[in-house]
Structure 1
Amino acid sequence: MRKIYVIGIGAGDPDHLTLQAAKAIGRTDVFFVLDKGEAKESMIELRRRLMKAYGRPSRRIAEGRDPDRDRRPVDYEGTVADWRSRRSQVTEALISEHLLDGETGSFLVWGDPSLYDSTIAILEEILDRGQTLFEYEVVPGISSVSALAAKHRIGLNRVGQPFQVTTGRRLAEGWPDGVDDVVVMLDAQQAFAAHPEADIYWGAYIGTEDEILASGRVGDVGEEIAKTRAAARERHGWIMDTYLLRRDDSRGSE
């Protein structure tokens, strides 16, 4: 039986790699990489560094082209489902062609595989089709959420209180009920601007040499964060940012 590891490699700092992840990389025969184009080359470079540092000298790399998708679709869920299906077909072809019986393959996943990453769902879709068989194991990693909290030296929750992790698209629909601390990922529209009285702890490219951090009251720093974000995205061709929004728990809904 072929085996696949889904390995969380952290938010960007090579030192985020766990001992468990390093051992899994060392057991890998084939690394699968989906190329996102030249703008994402720096994301792939970290993976290459980890393969070289911890992988076998005989390791192989199988590369495929990550399908494009509409980033501002009218039917968001339908568009994502279609993209995942096309991505699973590319992934299945790579596994079938490059991973031999008895070998181990790995996907090196940014952050933690359980948090806003599609690799697990794609592997399940492949197995559901029943044409390509393998077993797989997930190795957790340090997420951008935990790295963000560490960089700002804050806790994600306050005493006895919950917090919620959501997306910018959901936050744009309104502040989630029942929480005063909201971690936001995948926010291309700076939805935090609608909450000027909240405090924000923001970070981009966390753990890399390009890391940018900012914090303060949204009404005071929100515009500058938006400008910084736009400039950084233009410079790098991509951006990965995360933030915590925190409001006074006595204030209620805004």
Structure 2
Amino acid sequence: MLRLSLIGIGCGDPEQLTLAAIRAINAADLVLIPRKGTAKSDLADLRRTICADVLTNDRTRIAEFDLPVRDASEADYRKGVDDWHASVAAAWSQTIADRLGSDGRVALLIWGDPSLYDSSLRIARRLEPLPKIEVVPGITSIQALCAAHALPLNDIGEPFLVTTGRRLREGGWPISADTVVVMLDGGAAFRSLDPNGLHIWWGAYLGMPDQIIISGALADVGPRIVAARQQARERHGWIMDSYILKRIP
């Protein structure tokens, strides 16, 4: 029987791995490492480093594969994502079949945690044959962001909302929310908001040596964040960032 472990590895710092994650990596017969092109080679390099650091099982093999790219020109966002998931599932299935067959343990090292704004669980359920799925939780970018700023996410007894840059840009500030966490923002969606009374805690490459954090009143630091994002993207060829917005009376 095929077993698939989706292992959360945190946000870039190999020391964020849990003991459960290390144990699951060593229990695998095959570890899959996706390649996302030269611009994002850092992400594959980190996974290679983790395997080199924690693997003690000589029987565990590593297989790399090229991850399909989502067609951003598709007008129907959900259809574009669905088609992309199908392509990724096909790449996983083919790599597993070529390197392991239909019996054994496969591991995928998932950035952050498999449960939060990550498609790995949905993709895993498309695999043929369908494996037995195990999830090993990891530190999320939200946790890493709060830690970097030494910030409690919620106010006393108050909720918070997690959303995406696309939803923030299209829908504006969520109704009845005083604290908003924004992920998957490719274009600094906070610029679409009235900055008055808003405070931002922003971070990029969280947990990595190139980590950048900026915080302050949105009206004051917003332009600085936009410039920092652009410079970092030009330097690295990619960027992963997230931020927290709070209404400050």
Per the normalisation by structure 1, the TM-score is: 0.92
Aligned to 1:120: 121
Aligned to 1:45: 45
1:194-253 Cα distance to aligned partner (Å, 9 max, x none): 2312100000000000000000011000001001001101110110001000013x6xxx
Aligned to 1:68: 69
1:39, 1:238 within 8 Å by CA — same for their partners in 2? yes
1:31, 1:106 within 8 Å by CA — same for their partners in 2? yes
2:26, 2:60 within 8 Å by CA — same for their partners in 1? no
User: How far is the alpha carbon of 1:156 from its aligned partner?
Assistant: 1.0
Aligned to 1:171: 168
1:135-192 Cα distance to aligned partner (Å, 9 max, x none): 1200000011100001101111111111011000001121112211000011112111
1:13 matched to 2:13:
yes
Aligned to 1:93: 94
User: How far is the alpha carbon of 1:116 from its aligned partner?
Assistant: 1.1
User: How far is the alpha carbon of 1:59 from its aligned partner?
Assistant: 2.1
Separation in structure 1 between the aligned mates of residue 209 and residue 180 of structure 2, nearest angstrom: 26
Unaligned runs of 5+ in 1: none
Aligned to 1:232: 232
Unaligned runs of 5+ in 2: none
Separation in structure 2 between the aligned mates of residue 59 and residue 124 of structure 1, nearest angstrom: 23
User: How far is the alpha carbon of 1:25 from its aligned partner?
Assistant: 0.9
SS in 2 for 1:113: coil
1:2, 1:99 within 8 Å by CA — same for their partners in 2? no
Separation in structure 1 between the aligned mates of residue 234 and residue 71 of structure 2, nearest angstrom: 19
Q: Give the stretch that moved more between structures: 2-11 or 89-98.
A: 89-98
SS in 2 for 1:158: coil
Separation in structure 2 between the aligned mates of residue 61 and residue 190 of structure 1, nearest angstrom: 36
User: How far is the alpha carbon of 1:120 from its aligned partner?
Assistant: 0.6
Which letter maps to 2:179?
A: D
2:161, 2:180 within 8 Å by CA — same for their partners in 1? yes
Separation in structure 2 between the aligned mates of residue 137 and residue 74 of structure 1, nearest angstrom: 34
Separation in structure 2 between the aligned mates of residue 13 and residue 231 of structure 1, nearest angstrom: 22
Separation in structure 1 between the aligned mates of residue 195 and residue 176 of structure 2, nearest angstrom: 19
Separation in structure 1 between the aligned mates of residue 151 and residue 230 of structure 2, nearest angstrom: 26
Q: Over aligned residues, Cα RMSD in angstroms?
A: 1.4
User: How far is the alpha carbon of 1:99 from its aligned partner?
Assistant: 2.2
Which letter maps to 1:26?
A: N
1:2 matched to 2:2:
yes
Separation in structure 2 between the aligned mates of residue 141 and residue 226 of structure 1, nearest angstrom: 29
Separation in structure 2 between the aligned mates of residue 17 and residue 119 of structure 1, nearest angstrom: 18
SS in 1 for 2:92: helix
Report the number of matched residues: 245
Cα 1:151–1:142, aligned 2, differ >3 Å: closer, same or farther?
same
1:31-79 Cα distance to aligned partner (Å, 9 max, x none): 1122101111111111111111222233212222111123464321111
Aligned to 1:141: 138
Which letter maps to 1:195?
A: D
Percent identity over the alignment is: 46
Residue correspondence of structure 1 range 19-38 to structure 2 within 5 A? 19-38=19-38
Residue correspondence of structure 1 range 153-232 to structure 2 within 5 A? 153-172=150-169, 173-193=171-191, 194-197=193-196, 198-232=198-232
Q: Give the stretch that moved more between structures: 113-122 or 131-140.
A: 131-140
Which letter maps to 1:226?
A: V
Separation in structure 1 between the aligned mates of residue 50 and residue 28 of structure 2, nearest angstrom: 12
